[in-house]
Amino acid sequence: MEGARRVKLILVVIDALRADHVSCYGYGKLITPHLDDLAREGVLFSNVHTPNPFTEPAFTSLYTGMYPTRHGIVSHGSSRALDPAIKLLPEVLGYAGLHTGAVDNLARWKGWFQRGFLEYVDPDPTTAPIHADARSVNEALFGWLERNHDVDFFLVVHYWDPHAPYLPPEDHDLFGPSERPEPFPWRQHLREPLASFFFEHFLTPDTSLEEAIAAYDGEINCVDKHVGDLIGALRYWGILEDTVVIITSDHGESLGEHGIFFDHHGLYETTTRVPLIIYGPGRIPAGIRIDAPVVSVDIPLTLLDLAGIRDVGFVRQAQGRSLLPLVQGEGSQDGGRPIFLSESTWQSKRAILHGKWKLIRSIQQDVYGNPPCELYDLASDPAETRNLYAEHPALAADLEERLSRWVQEQSPNGDPLMLQGCSKRLHPYTLQQEAEVLERVEEPDTEGEGGQA
């Protein structure tokens, strides 16, 4: 790295932040003023997908530059370990001379999330990882910056707030005290084991769907404020112009779309489309919007490029591309680039996006009764409400063949989704499970027996 222009790098991952609930991505509510400012003063990528909508495989892709089908971590909560021969981004940046740090807690689940970090700070070891809040994250972050602001560094900051349960602080409660909408018939829609978790932590029988979504937005508004405070801390230490901040998410969140509530299974846009903003005054141009298809595996090579580092081994293993040429107006928009998605946590599916088309193929029947293959025109139907599979058989066959060929190329020793199976069991909402939930929330049964949506 001798002769390269040094830079401080911060990767901010906001858990469960779907792109279309960020104001600068077109959301109707102005809940992200600080993210909006960073997008206005930096680069906004409008068409970004995570390769897997669960934290463990998505973060592993962020650190390896590899699709889950290649690195083998295809589900959240499985017993599978990452091959130690696979290089990780923090290791590469550390070997090149950057001080590496993380304010995160994923290492409690899987050890490789700590590999390569000289300083790994769990913001609140007394609480479950998903209950860590932005306040505790920033307290640890500010201490880290105080110790390390005068060195070249790579820092990962992981905010959990938008992840269920949605419990925003009172000053970020976006639902006014006026009329409350009607309660939602949760018992007809929620499935176990998620239903019990939701009722235990943030739902009541009287909660409306609008209130639940407002609570999610309140969590986003809260983390947005703390991202603003992070930028303020960089300014306080006089290092803002030496720093590039990349802001993204590991996955989105479904808020009732396709019958999926407050989780991120399903390969629909609500769960796979994420924001990506690159901000660096003096280093990154301002006011740029890039519509080219991007996948999260592009982020590691972009960070290496920003640092002026070329590690041959990492470049060979990575399956993405650096986005820096696009940022600098030199790269190809490559609108025909295919993007591949997969999941194997609650259900097993994979998908291919090519241009405006998206094909989702189920490896096993899901509990929602969806057809085994779905085809959507995202240009005319971004909410994915009209399955066009039967109307375009030739197109669907071509996309299926591309998807199948890609899987074979990625996994010559066998498809890991088929070999590993789902790591968790999301089963239909049976009467026995319903009775257990009713007993937990002490709700009288006044509407008769609930059933599967």
CB neighbour list of residue 64: distance below 8 Å, 6 or more residues apart: 71, 82, 86, 87, 88, 89, 297, 300, 317, 318
Examine the domain organization and report whether 89 and 196 are in the same domain: yes
Answer whether residue 263 is part of any domain.
yes
**Residues 414 and 270 grouped into a single domain:** no
- The partner residues of 374 in beta bridges, in order of sequence, read 360
Quick check: is 51 in a domain? Answer: yes
Do 250 and 389 belong to one domain? no
* Cα–Cα distance measured from residue 152 to residue 144, given in angstroms and rounded to the nearest whole number: 13
Position 434 in a domain: no
Interatomic CA distance for residues 265 and 424, integer angstroms: 11
On whether both 361 and 239 belong to a single domain, the answer is: no
Q: Which residues face 13 on adjacent strands?
A: 158, 248
Determine the average pLDDT of the residues in 360-366.
Answer: 90
DSSP code at position 112: G
Q: How far apart, in whole angstroms, are the C-alpha atoms of residue 148 and residue 93?
A: 16
- Residue 225: which residues within 8 A CB-CB, separation 6 or more? 34, 134, 172
Specify if 447 maps to a domain. no
Q: What is the pLDDT of residue 191?
A: 82
Residues 108-153 have pLDDT tens digits of 999 999 999 999 999 999 999 999 999 999 999 999 999 999 999 9
Q: Is 54 part of a structural domain of the chain?
A: yes
Same domain? For 252 and 320 the reply is yes
Region 285-290: mean pLDDT is 96
**How do residues 220-244 score in pLDDT, each as one tens digit?**
999 999 999 999 999 999 999 999 9
CB 82 within 8 A of CB 112: yes
- Which residues, 6+ apart, have CB-to-CB distance to 442 below 8 Å? none
**pLDDT class of 421 with cuts at 50, 70, 90:** confident
Same domain flag for 323 and 343: no
Give the confidence band of 178 by pLDDT, cuts at 50, 70, 90: low
pLDDT of residue 60: 98
Same-domain status, 53 and 165: yes
Same domain, 265 and 285: yes
Judge whether 259 and 270 are in contact, CB under 8 Å: no
Per-residue pLDDT, averaged over 397-402, amounts to 97
The 10s digit of each residue's pLDDT in 264-277 is 999 999 999 999 99
Residue at 256: amino acid letter: G
In this prediction, residues 417-440 reach a mean pLDDT of 68
Asked if residue 58 belongs to a domain, the reply is yes
How many degrees, rounded to 5, is the angle at CA 269 between CA 375 and CA 321?
100
Exposure pattern of 284-320 as b/e (b: 16+ CB <10 Å)?
A: beeebebebbbbbbbbbbbbbbbbebebeebbebbbb
Work out the pLDDT band at 414, boundaries 50, 70, 90.
confident
Q: Of 327, 353, 385, which residue sits at a domain end?
A: 327
Domain boundary among 327, 349, 383: 327
- Rounded to whole angstroms, the Cα distance separating 167 from 227 reads 18
Domain housing 415: 339-420
In a domain, 427, yes or no: no
Chain segment 436-452, per-residue pLDDT in tens: 655 655 544 433 333 22
Instruction: Tell me the CATH number at 348.
Output: 3.30.1120.10
Whether residue 205 is found in the same domain as residue 268 = yes
Residue 223 lies in a domain: yes
On whether both 101 and 148 belong to a single domain, the answer is yes
Question: CA geometry: angle at 292 spanning 286 and 293, to 5°?
Answer: 130
**What stretch of H or E contains 398?**
helix 393-410
- Per-position DSSP letters for 313-374, written without gaps between them: HHHHH--S--SHHHHTT-S---TT--EEEEEESSSEEEEEEETTEEEEEESS--TT---SEE
How many structural domains are present in the chain? 2
In this predicted structure, what is the pLDDT of residue 1? 37
Asked whether the whole model's pTM tops 0.95, one would answer no
Higher pLDDT, residue 449 or 21: 21
Type of residue numbered 125: P
CATH number, domain of 109, equals 3.40.720.10
Cβ neighbors of 40 (< 8 A, separation 6 or more) are 24, 286, 287
Q: Is there a single domain that holds both residue 323 and residue 345?
A: no
The residue-averaged pLDDT of 26-52 equals 97
Please enumerate in sequence order all residues whose Cβ is within 8 A of that of 337, keeping only pairs 6 or more positions apart, or say none.
Answer: 292, 293
288-341 tens-digit pLDDT: 999 999 999 999 999 999 999 989 999 999 999 999 999 998 877 776 789 999
Average pLDDT for the chain: 90
Q: Based on the domain organization, do 301 and 359 belong to the same domain?
A: no
Tell which of 327, 359, 391 closes a domain.
327
